[in-house]
Amino acid sequence: FSLLGNADALGWSSRDTIHAGHDKEGGVWGYQAGAVGQDGVLPYIQAAHGRRRPYTSLLDLASNLGFVVAALERARPLAAHYGTDISSKMAKATARQCTRCLAGVFDVAQLMDPAFSGVVNSTFPKEVDVVLISDVLYYMPWAGIPPIFHQVGVVPAFWVRASQERFARNLRSLARREVVISNHQNNAGVRRFLQTVNATHEARHDVWTLPGFAPPDPTAPP
């Protein structure tokens, strides 16, 4: 199920242009369905949240074509799954790939906003058990500075610390249990961010985590 609204009215048309025509090529980043899970995200979520204490809801904040959230939905069909992407084309692709998922347009950079109040709109839940964020943090304009300057390491850490900490705080507020972050190909700029916000590196699966602090679901079994 797709909840996209008026993407052009929200200013997403340029992002759609970037992603146009990539649906059959693994998205703009060249992902392929057969390669899903090789970076450790799926095995980690299954081990930490899918066996002993299964999650009941999961949000993929950068779902691209939806391969990962669809694989999670197949493994946990009784849980609710949600996917968002900055491009309405990728959100639609997520909805096609995962037909029982709710998909919508969302720019993760909004998590830097002090007035952040939730993902997409009221149709999306304010909190879920697990939040996943993969292969998107390279492109964050911390403190409004273009990403390329962060990647080459010329931005002093104290310039961006407040926006990074605010981002992490808003991200954690979405998760009741945990935020799971892909290794982002061990990108140096992303690693600096993860270390700044005190993320934990789970070496066995090579993923990073942050504890969630959203209130527990009152309807969930003990």
pLDDT tens digits for range 166-185: 999 999 999 999 999 999 98
Contact (CB, 8 A) for 55 and 76: yes
- Give exposure, 14-25, as e/b (b: 16+ Cβ within 10 Å): ebbeebeebbee
How confident is the model at residue 10, as a pLDDT? 35
**Nearest residue to 132 (alpha-carbon basis) of 92, 186, 189, 84:** 84
β-strand partners of 33 = none
| Length of the chain counted residue by residue | 222
Cα separation, 164 vs 191, in Å, equals 12
pLDDT averaged over the chain? 85
Cα separation, 136 vs 190, in Å, equals 9
Residue type (1 letter), 94: T
Mean pLDDT, residues 112-140 taken together: 92
Residue 170, Cα to own-chain centre: how many angstroms? 12
How confident is the model at residue 172, as a pLDDT? 98
Whether the pLDDT of residue 36 is over 60: the answer is no
How confident is the model at residue 22, as a pLDDT? 47
Give the pLDDT band (50/70/90) at residue 24: low
Whether the pLDDT of residue 113 is over 60: the answer is yes
How confident is the model at residue 16, as a pLDDT? 52
Mean pLDDT, residues 93-117 taken together: 95
- Could you read off the pLDDT of 67-90 as tens digits, one per residue? 999 999 999 999 999 999 999 999
How confident is the model at residue 122, as a pLDDT? 78
Name the pairing type of β-strands 80-85 and 175-181.
unpaired
- Other beta carbons within 10 Å of 152: 10
Torsion (CA) 167, 170, 173, 178 in degrees, nearest 10: -20
Whether the pLDDT of residue 15 is over 80: the answer is no
Cα separation, 76 vs 48, in Å, equals 13
Mean pLDDT, residues 126-136 taken together: 96
Say what the pTM is. Answer: 0.85
Tokens, residue 148: 């390329």
Give the pLDDT band (50/70/90) at residue 221: low
